[in-house]
Amino acid sequence: MRNVPDSLLHPGKRNAWLAFTALALVLLALPFATDALLGRGWVRIADFALLYIMLALGLNIVVGYAGLLDLGYVAFFAVGAYCYALLGSPQFGLHLPFWVVLPLGALLACVFGVLLGAPTLRLRGDYLAIVTLGFGEIIRIFLNNLNAPANITNGPQGISMIDPIRIGGFSLGSTHELLGFTFPSVHLHYYLFLCCTLLVVFVSLRLEDSRIGRAWMAIREDEVAAEAMGINTRNIKLLAFAMGATFGGAAGGLFAGFQGFVSPESFGLTESVMILCMVVLGGMGHIGGVVLGGVLLALLPEALRNGAGPVQQALFGKTLVDPESLRMLLFGLALIVVMLVRPAGLWPSVQRRRELIADDGVVQQEQDTVYDSSK
């Protein structure tokens, strides 16, 4: 068993590289392929999918790692988005640059994360969910009503004509010619969001496998034991809230710059629930699963919206059910089915694999044990 031929091991590594390169190429070519095959609207949907993935990964830190059920996560998204909108639009005539507003929004969201976290430290499970839900609603209601006596947020009308994302002199709001290719605005946003998503994935991966990540998971598994082992649960939980909120705030800033318009309507409870669904459906605490959940849940409603009409036409010759209402019906059904069939999520962290990919000596030992017991 020890003499595993090298030829058996190396192809695995090469295959991994091949898969990696292929994935990179697919991701790079995706906006052009989508544009050509499905139309520009779908590139836009892909952009939103990336934003959702960022949000889901941020929430995954709070819910998946630290086990703190947060139903108001979209509030941080709102904070980031409004920070960008207020500082980069005609609303106050401020047009601060992107590289100032985005980090500022993330920082502000981080502060809000701590503000929300601090009073909820003693709460767990359902109680925490209720308080965070309330927090999310409070933020939305504030945004809705901060138009009087002094008009700050412009109330339900929201803020429009937000500055496009501009990096140096390069504005993502317009079409650019580069290296002989034409890059429309949605394509440019796609690449920016892709970079941000990869950064968030990287940060998540690094945090997961670290002293802090282990402390989060320890709290998730057993808070009392974690405390007794010397983990300052207050600080570590606040850190989880802060990190998650930071990602949410950054995604919010990108959202505002991309969409050019924000209103409180975009930050309702359904959004929070949607993001939570991505985390839970994909596989809580597992980055791959959360990304998958984000992709599926961002695309599925759109696919249903666009597909339900034509499919009905083809089957029955006429549209029987309004695609818009059918969309949510099928969506809910899909969620229920997935949770019934795969309660741990579509792609949960592969614990079995973790048990098998032990260091060499240990695998050997396990196999020996099996051998001994069969004698």
Partner 1 sequence: MTAANKALLELSGVGKHFGGLAALSDVSLHIRRGEIYGLIGPNGAGKTTLFNVVTGLYQLDEGTFTFDGVAYAHCKPHVLAEVGIARTFQNIRLFANMSALENVMVGRHVRTRTGIWGALTRHAAARNEERAITQRARELLRYVGIERPHQTLAKHLSYGEQRRLEIARALATEPALLALDEPAAGMNATETESLKALLQTVRASGITVLLIEHDVKLIMGLCDRVAVLDYGKKIAEGVPEEVRRNPAVIAAYLGGEPASPSSSGEEVGVEE
Smallest separation, CB 253 to partner 1 (Å): 20
336 or 356: CB nearest partner 1 = 356
Draw the binding track, 180-209, toward partner 1 (x: CB under 8 A; -: no contact). -----------------------x--xx--
Question: Do 207 and 186 touch, CB atoms closer than 8 A?
Answer: no
94 or 229: CB nearest partner 1 = 229
Calpha distance 181→261 (Å, rounded): 28
Q: What residue has token string 């095959």?
A: 37
Smallest separation, CB 127 to partner 1 (Å): 20
Smallest separation, CB 105 to partner 1 (Å): 19
55 or 231: CB nearest partner 1 = 231
Angle of helix 269-282 relative to helix 323-341, nearest 10 degrees, comes to 40
Q: Exposure string (b/e) for 342-371, b if CB count within 10 Å is 16 or more?
A: eeebbbbbeeeeeeeeeeeeeeeeeeeeee
The closest of 356, 216, 360, 334 to 281, measured between CA atoms, is: 334
User: Which residues ranging from 238 to 277 are in contact with partner 1 (CB under 8 A)?
Assistant: 239, 243
Choose the binding region for partner 1 from 13-21, 51-59, 87-95, 351-359 (rule: CB under 8 A). 351-359
Q: Is 213 in the site for partner 1 (CB under 8 A)?
A: yes
18 or 357: CB nearest partner 1 = 357
Helix (H) or strand (E) holding 17: helix 6-38
Smallest separation, CB 189 to partner 1 (Å): 25
Smallest separation, CB 244 to partner 1 (Å): 13
Draw the binding track, 87-116, toward partner 1 (x: CB under 8 A; -: no contact). ------------------------------
Compute how many residues bind partner 1; rule: CB under 8 A. Answer: 36
Q: How would DSSP label each residue in 85-136?
A: HHHEETTTTEE--HHHHHHHHHHHHHHHHHHHHGGGTT--HHHHHHHHHHHH
Calpha distance 195→151 (Å, rounded): 35
Q: Is 217 in the site for partner 1 (CB under 8 A)?
A: yes
236 or 300: CB nearest partner 1 = 236
Task: Show the tokens assigned to 52.
Answer: 């959702």
The closest of 70, 45, 46 to 58, measured between CA atoms, is: 70
Task: Show the tokens assigned to 150.
Answer: 């002094």
The closest of 63, 43, 350 to 217, measured between CA atoms, is: 63
Q: Which of 43, 192, 218, 250: binder of partner 1 (CB under 8 A)?
A: 218
Q: Is 342 in the site for partner 1 (CB under 8 A)?
A: no
Question: Do 299 and 307 touch, CB atoms closer than 8 A?
Answer: no
Choose the binding region for partner 1 from 18-26, 176-184, 293-301, 358-366 (rule: CB under 8 A). 358-366
Q: Is 227 in the site for partner 1 (CB under 8 A)?
A: yes
Smallest separation, CB 75 to partner 1 (Å): 22
Smallest separation, CB 21 to partner 1 (Å): 24
Smallest separation, CB 205 to partner 1 (Å): 10
Q: Which residues contact 274 (CB under 8 A, 6 or more apart)?
A: 52, 297
List contacts with partner 1 (CB under 8 A). 203, 206-207, 210-215, 217-218, 221-222, 224-233, 239, 243, 351, 354-359, 362-363, 365-366
